[in-house]
């Protein structure tokens, strides 16, 4: 994207126009976040930029919504529930998903397309249908309103992401490495954990993160499949938006954006590490 020194004026104009355009689109992407952060410091209980805020008066800003988040047992419980549900659901989808992705990437898999379609289905079935279907079914077998029920439902929703990312990493996987390991006497389990796993780890991790976010940000299914005991953060936000608009939601969002940035940085670092491992040059 470097502009060559011999570029014509027209090329220069185009080059800068393109950069401005991209800048605008990127701004479009983060605009909502830019709005959320200041509003979360609003001293009033509405999603409104008060005149005081626009004039940068100190008393128009406050930390009260953050205090509310950290002191309100409802929010704290929701946070605890989210933290208890999402990792377990993620673990379940990652372990089952990785196994299946390894199976799927073998050479001769019968009914590969059909199996793939079934495994991807949680991503393509409209969420409201999934929610209602799981709700009726889980009620019947006594899983509705239980921790296990919500974890299973969220795990199912996260699986397509794991499958997609892991199979994508396996496409670039050099099969001769496992053969070499087997040749040297490693059993399949050792081969998997010592050879294959480290190399597909980035895919597994990014799939896992997608699965985690799916569970962590999921509201429709948990609203149906869960009950009070499984009230997650998005559920609390949803009731908050419906019953009582309070910028506490924005405070939570701001905190979560912070965590997202941390997570994304982690992913990026991991990716760089894996590329070093695979001996690929960055780029």
Query: Distance between alpha carbon 35 and the CA centroid of its chain, in Å?
Result: 21
* Of 76 and 244, CB closest to another protein: 244
Shortest spacing between CB 88 and another protein, in angstroms: 14
Among 18, 63, 70, 193, binds another protein (CB under 8 A): 18
Ramachandran angles phi, psi of 42, nearest 5°: -60, 140
Among 41, 64, 75, 97, binds another protein (CB under 8 A): 97
Span interacting with another protein, options 61-69, 145-153, 173-181, 193-201, rule CB under 8 A: 145-153
Q: Give CA–CA dist 271/268, Å, rounded.
A: 5
Query: Distance between alpha carbon 47 and the CA centroid of its chain, in Å?
Result: 26
What part of residues 187-246 is at the interface with another protein (CB under 8 A)? 206-207, 210, 213, 217, 219-220, 223-224, 227-229, 231, 233-234, 237-245
What part of residues 122-141 is at the interface with another protein (CB under 8 A)? 122-130, 132-141
Span interacting with another protein, options 62-70, 83-91, 117-125, 177-185, rule CB under 8 A: 117-125
The two three-digit tokens of residue 47, written as one number: 């999603």
The two three-digit tokens of residue 29, written as one number: 């992407």
Span interacting with another protein, options 63-71, 83-91, 151-159, 179-187, rule CB under 8 A: 151-159
Q: Give CA–CA dist 143/82, Å, rounded.
A: 18
* Of 174 and 224, CB closest to another protein: 224
Residue 25 within binding range of another protein, rule CB under 8 A: yes
Residue 116 within binding range of another protein, rule CB under 8 A: yes
Torsion of CA 24, 26, 29, 35, to 10 degrees: -70
Neighbours of 117 (CB within 10 A): 11
Span interacting with another protein, options 60-68, 83-91, 179-187, 264-272, rule CB under 8 A: 264-272
Shortest spacing between CB 185 and another protein, in angstroms: 19
Query: Distance between alpha carbon 105 and the CA centroid of its chain, in Å?
Result: 24
Q: How many CA atoms lie within 13 A of 86 on its CB side?
A: 22
């Amino acid at each position: 994207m470097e502009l060559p020194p011999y570029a014509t004026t027209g090329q220069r104009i185009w080059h800068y126009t393109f950069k401005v355009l991209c800048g605008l689109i990127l701004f479009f992407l983060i605009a909502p976040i830019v709005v959320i952060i200041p509003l979360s410091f609003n001293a009033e209980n509405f999603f409104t930029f008060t005149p005081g805020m626009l004039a940068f008066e100190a008393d128009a800003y406050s930390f009260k919504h953050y205090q509310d988040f950290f002191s309100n047992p409802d929010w704290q419980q929701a946070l605890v529930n989210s933290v208890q549900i999402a990792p377990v659901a993620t673990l379940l989808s990652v372990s089952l998903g990785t196994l299946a992705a390894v199976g799927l990437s073998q050479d001769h898999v019968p009914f590969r397309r059909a199996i793939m379609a079934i495994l991807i289905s949680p991503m393509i079935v409209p969420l409201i249908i999934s929610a209602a279907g799981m709700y009726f079914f889980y009620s019947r077998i006594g899983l509705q309103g239980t921790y296990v029920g919500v974890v299973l439902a969220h795990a199912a929703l996260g699986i397509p992401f794991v499958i997609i990312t892991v199979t994508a990493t396996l496409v670039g996987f050099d099969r001769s490495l496992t053969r070499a390991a087997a040749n040297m006497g490693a059993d399949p389990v050792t081969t998997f954990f010592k050879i294959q796993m480290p190399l597909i780890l980035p895919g597994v991790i990014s799939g896992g993160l997608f699965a985690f976010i799916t569970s962590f940000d999921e509201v429709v299914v948990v609203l149906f499949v869960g009950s009070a005991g499984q009230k997650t953060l998005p559920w609390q936000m949803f009731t908050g938006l419906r019953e009582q608009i309070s910028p506490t939601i924005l405070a939570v969002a701001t905190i979560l954006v912070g965590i997202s940035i941390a997570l994304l940085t982690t992913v990026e670092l991991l990716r760089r590490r894996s590329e070093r491992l695979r001996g690929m040059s960055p780029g």
